Structure 1
Amino acid sequence: MLDEREELAKCLILIEEKLGWGSSAHWQNQDFDAVRERIADETGVALSTSTLKRLWGKVHYDSAPTATTLNTLARFLGYENWREFRKPLPLAENQVLQNTEPISPSLPRSKYLLNQANWIWIAVLFITVFLTGNWAFRNGEKRLEYGVITFGSRPVAQGLPNTVIFNYNAADSNADSVFIQQSWNPRLRFRVDKNNQHYASTYYYPGYFRAKLVLNDSIVKEHDLYITTQGWLGTINRDSIPVYFKDQQIRKNGVVAVTETDLVKQGVDLQKVVPSVSLHYVKPMGNLSASNFTFETELKSTFNHGSAVCQQTMIMLLCSNGVHIMQLSAKGCVGELGLSFSDLAVSGKTNDLSGLGVDFTDWAKVRCEVKDKQVTLFVNGKQAYTGQFEKDPGKIVGVRYGFQGSGEVRSAGFLGKEEVRML
């Protein structure tokens, strides 16, 4: 078995392959912010940007990653936990790998060609056997049959954190395996006991999920699971359980805000670390289409010390089948920004996103207009971007703001026929 460091290196390579963003050697700070959001969306656990940068060697750090961090990385790759990820190959597979020897370059050319020919015939024979066996397996495969199947869920509390109890009954089936998939992401699929009826999962962040009951490899039941907030919710995002600020704690003189004072009271040493802070508003918004809407907001980053000098700020419109992401920063850092609207991704490295640079000594006013999937984004009254996405992201189900350190929001709402005023 590989040691822990080698296993971690393998894990990080697999994450890079899953993301498909190219080598991490070229990742910038906003890329690690985006990784953090992807991991949080798929696992319900928010690893800090600084933790991710330490894992990828961007920041020197001698301590080993925590069990929570390792388990979260493994879950992001579709494993139940780090232990499952580290499980060695079955003995037979290990023996095959260990007993396979490369052709020695010191062999005479005639023997080398003979060995090469033998290997070709062996490969042909192997493929033939595999295809024949695969055909026989598929023709003899047991057809899934089932009768009355039930699947539902209920949160056990209001607010966050929140444990969700999944209730299911798959006994009336000939399925060999039963899974509960927590959202649209097939990597968040966990095997459950066919003869049991309950499975519990704890959620630490709000969001919208479409849970599925899977028999063998067939989805037979699904339903929407909506983890909402009670008004506004502030969080200091940490590797395990976040620090929460309830609605009444963050409403201050007509704004919602997490201030430097709030952070210090929670034991954050702002001289040593820049925390990731979020403001969430996740509540039903009617039938507000994520392909046709107008959103307006005023926000301000209020921390610009140390590594937060760029004041990178994120606005996320959470959707039932996707997400829209807008970023702002100090004017000199716009090359590090990016935009994402459903399946459309835009990088500040290869696009002119200079209009997303702002002076946060004053309020930044953002207006996002989407009509038939055509996006037009305005910042402080000037057009900053226009583009078109293709995939329907469903309904808008919530809003999330992200700050490096402290930040505040003065207004937020959706205009038009489906008007929703959040602040």
Structure 2
Amino acid sequence: MTTEDDNLQQCRLLIEEKVRWGDSSQWQNQDFEALSERIFAETGVSLSVSTLKRIWGKVRYDSAPTATTLNTLAQFVGYDNWREFRKQPVLIAEETAPSLPVQNAPVPVFRPYAIRWPWVVGVFVVLGLVGIWAFQKRAKPLHIGEVTFSSRPVAKGLPNTVLFQYDATDSNADSVFIQQSWNPKLRFRVDKDGHQYASTYFYPGYFRAKLVLNDSIVKEHDLYIKTDGWLGTINRDSIPVYFPDKQIRRNGAIELTETDLTEQGIIFQKSVPKTSLHYVQPLGELSGSTFGFETEVKSTFNRFDAVCQHVGIMILCSKGMHFLQLSRKGCVGELNLSFNGTHISGKTTDLSAFGVDFSDWVTVRCEVKDKLAKVFVNEKLAYEGRFQEDAGKIVGLRYYFQGTGAVKSARFYDDQINAVLL
């Protein structure tokens, strides 16, 4: 009989196979940070690092995972929800015994199992010895002394090269890495005896750069990659396409058009690209836990893959982010909201007020006071709820579009600050 633990184990195995990051027993905190970001990118729901560690048994936790957590994990591996995932057979490795001979049938003299068995034993012995050797090598304690780590951007705008200064010579580490952010794919091996490394950042944001010795993060610091005014991008895994402020400023709005994209070789019939509009600049001591924000936004493309016209608004904070999402009315079941680790899914919450008609500008207003968030869409209360974690200070703003979109106004404010971005 299949138990819930069997289903959860099967889901973990599918996730490990999908990400291909090696043995999960060796995963470090940065791996769970990367997994959290990847799950959010694909499902729109952000599971916290602590939640993922509980799922993988890294942190003791006696309660069962929530329905939201299970549904999100199932969606990440290709199922609609946890209920659909549970319908699939759980593949449990079992030893298969040789079948009995049919009555009166001749019994062959050749016995492959008897011949293979010594080889199987030998392979396991060798693997065991190799495993012991590898464990002993890995288990060498890491000793560090006066280790230093700092950085500075060399330019204004994007892309931007950052010069890292480091000193890891006062350690017994076998390997030294510099990691740009949460993403372990952006980890680069450096010379242990060296002191400088240059790394290029292609997107703006507020990052947490890391110095990694062997597989341990020993130093971290904040790194702020700012935009020069507004910046448009065609988002790609490789180098993005950039559109500077003066190119996308039209008739009092910030806008990416179909002409902008087709001139860059985009063929919408093949694939509708994801695009963004960024404004990443200091906004004073504006708290991400108590602030006001209002904007006018519009999706301007609704063909091919973009029929739902998803629009995302991300408020970047020094300790996290808030995320709002809009779409056409018929697609609200696919929407998600997030307030610094508190996640709301359109599959389990009525987000119908976030379904809009993009033939005109859509007004969005977000009021947050002492971690209580209220969101108004076209002056109608669309959501109200609390979040728990401090978001730090607000450091920027980012819009996501399917194809093309525009922003007519954007403003942050509190009792003392009125930051008009557009």
TM-score range, shorter chain: 0.5 to 0.7
| Counterpart mapping for 1:348-387 below 5 A | 348-387=346-385
How far apart, in 2, do the equivalents of 1:239 and 1:213 lie? 24
Shift in Å at residue 35 of structure 1?
Answer: 9.1
Matched, 1:390 2:388: yes
Distance 1:106 1:261, change over 3 A: closer
Partner Cα distance (2:214, 2:239) in 1: 33
3-state SS of the aligned residue for 2:172? coil
Name the aligned partner's letter for residue 412 of structure 2.
F
Evaluate the alpha carbon distance shift between residue 143 and residue 350 of structure 1 in structure 2; reply closer, same or farther with a 3 A threshold.
closer
Question: How far did 1:255 drift?
Answer: 0.4
Alignment of 1:239-254 (within 5 A): 239-254=237-252
TM-score (norm 1): 0.68
Q: How far apart in 2 are the matches of 1:188 and 1:394?
A: 24
Identity %: 60
Letter of the structure 2 residue corresponding to residue 411 of structure 1? S
For 1:284-331, what per-residue CA distance to the aligned partner results, in whole angstroms no more than 9, with x for missing partners?
112211111111100011111222121110101112121211100111
Describe the shift of the 1:186–1:320 C-alpha distance in structure 2 as closer, same or farther (beyond 3 A): farther
Match of 1:104 in 2: 97
Work out the CA distance in 2 between the residues paired with 1:103 and 1:332. 50
Distance 1:13 1:224, change over 3 A: closer
Structure 2 residue 167 is the aligned partner of structure 1 residue 172: no
- 1:229 to 1:389, Cα distance in 2 relative to 1, 3 A: same
Would you say 1:418 and 2:417 are equivalent positions?
yes
Give SS of 1:294's match.
Answer: strand
CA deviation string 1:148-192 (max 9, x = no partner): x32211223221112222111121333343332323556754442
- Taking a change above 3 Å as real, the CA distance of residues 194 and 352 of structure 1, as seen in their structure-2 partners, is same
Alpha carbons 2:45, 2:344 under 8 Å: kept: no
Q: What is the alpha-carbon root mean square deviation over aligned residues?
A: 3.8
CA distance in 2, matches of 1:188, 1:263: 27
Note the C-alpha offset of 1:419. 2.3
- Distance of 2:16 and 2:389 partners within structure 1: 32
1:90-109 Cα deviation digits (max 9, x unpaired): xxxxxxxxxxx9463569xx
CA contact (8 A) 2:324 2:338 kept: yes
- 1:12 maps to amino acid: K
1:287 to 275, 281, 285: 285
Question: Corresponding residue for 2:229?
Answer: 231
Counterpart pick for 1:262 among 248, 260, 268: 260
Residues 142 and 205 of structure 1, relative CA distance in 2, 3 Å threshold:
closer
Q: Is the CA contact (8 Å cut-off) linking 1:237 and 1:243 kept in structure 2? A: yes
Q: Which runs of 5+ in 2 are unaligned?
A: 1-13, 25-31, 49-76, 80-93, 101-120
Contact 1:318–1:400 under 8 Å retained in 2: yes
Amino acid paired to 1:104: A
Matches within 5 A, 1:18-417: 32=42, 34=44, 102=95, 104=97, 142=141, 144-147=143-146, 149-184=147-182, 188-216=186-214, 219-416=217-414, 417=416
Q: How many residues are matched?
A: 326
1:299–1:364 Cα contact (<8 Å) kept? yes
Query: Are the counterparts in 1 of residues 291 and 367 from structure 2 also a CA contact under 8 Å?
Result: yes
Which residue of the partner structure matches residue 12 of structure 1?
18
* CA distance in structure 1 between the aligned counterparts of 2:142 and 2:306, rounded to whole angstroms: 57
Q: Please list every run of at least 4 consecutive aligned residues from structure 1 whose deviation after the TM superposition is greater than 6 angstroms.
A: 17-21
CA contact 2:44–2:335 (8 Å) conserved in 1: no
Distance 1:404 1:143, change over 3 A: closer
Aligned-partner SS, 2:229: coil
Instruction: Go from structure 1 to structure 2 and tell me whether the alpha carbon gap of 1:205 and 1:57 turns closer, same or farther (over 3 Å shift).
Output: same
**Post-superposition CA distance 1:38-66 (Å, at most 9, x none):** 9xxxxxxxxxxxxxxxxx999xxxxxxxx
Taking the aligned partners of 1:401 and 1:162, their CA distance within structure 2 comes to 21
Q: Is the CA contact (8 Å cut-off) linking 2:227 and 2:280 kept in structure 1?
A: yes
Whether contact under 8 Å (1:301, 1:403) holds in the other structure is yes
The one-letter code matched in structure 2 to 1:201 is S
TM-superposed CA distance for 1:211, in Å, is 1.3
Query: What is the rounded CA distance, in whole Å, between the counterparts of 1:214 and 1:10 in structure 2?
Result: 23
Q: How far apart are the structure 2 equivalents of 1:206 and 1:345? A: 24
Contact in 2 for aligned 1:146/1:174 (Cα 8 Å): no
Amino acid at match of 2:240: P
2: CA distance between counterparts of 1:384 and 1:355? 5
- 1:399 aligned partner, one-letter code: L
What are structure 1's unaligned runs of at least 5 residues? Answer: 1-7, 39-55, 59-100, 108-121
C-alpha separation in 1, matches of 2:241 and 2:183:
26
**SS of aligned partner of 1:241:** coil
Aligned 8 A contact 2:45 2:336 in 1: no
Any idea what SS the aligned residue of 2:360 has? Answer: coil
Q: Any conservation in 2 of the 1:178–1:192 contact (CA below 8 Å)?
A: yes
Contact 2:45 2:338 (8 Å CA) reproduced: no
Work out the CA distance in 2 between the residues paired with 1:241 and 1:189: 17
- Classify the secondary structure of the residue corresponding to 2:331: helix
What does residue 86 of structure 2 align with? none
Residues 141 and 405 of structure 1, relative CA distance in 2, 3 Å threshold: closer
